[in-house]
């Protein structure tokens, strides 16, 4: 719906982040990658929400227990 596309490299980076968060015991996490915010259910490996900068303005993220910011 928000036209956020991931190439294979992006998918791998996101998967690596999910694995690291899972090792630390995260359950629902905010992952920031390339100016896109992903709220991910870690145990189910499911992206719940994805939004770019246009949708993030004044948005509040709730129901998360961890966050990770990935560098380019």
Ordered per-residue pLDDT tens for the chain, 72 residues: 678 999 999 999 999 999 999 999 999 999 999 999 999 999 999 999 999 988 888 888 999 999 999 987
Average pLDDT, the chain: 93
- Residue 2 is predicted with a pLDDT of 77
CA distances from 54 to 2, 29, 35 (A): 10, 20, 10
pTM of the model: 0.92
For the stretch 6-20, pLDDT in tens is 999 999 999 999 999
State how far Cα 45 lies from the chain centre: 10
């Amino acid at each position: 719906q928000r036209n956020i596309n991931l190439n294979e490299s992006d998918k791998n980076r996101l998967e690596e982040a999910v694995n690291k968060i899972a090792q630390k015991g995260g359950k629902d996490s905010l992952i920031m990658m390339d100016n896109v915010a992903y709220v991910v259910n870690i145990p189910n490996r499911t992206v719940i929400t994805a939004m770019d900068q246009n949708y993030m303005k004044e948005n509040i993220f709730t129901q998360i227990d961890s966050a990770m910011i990935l560098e380019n």
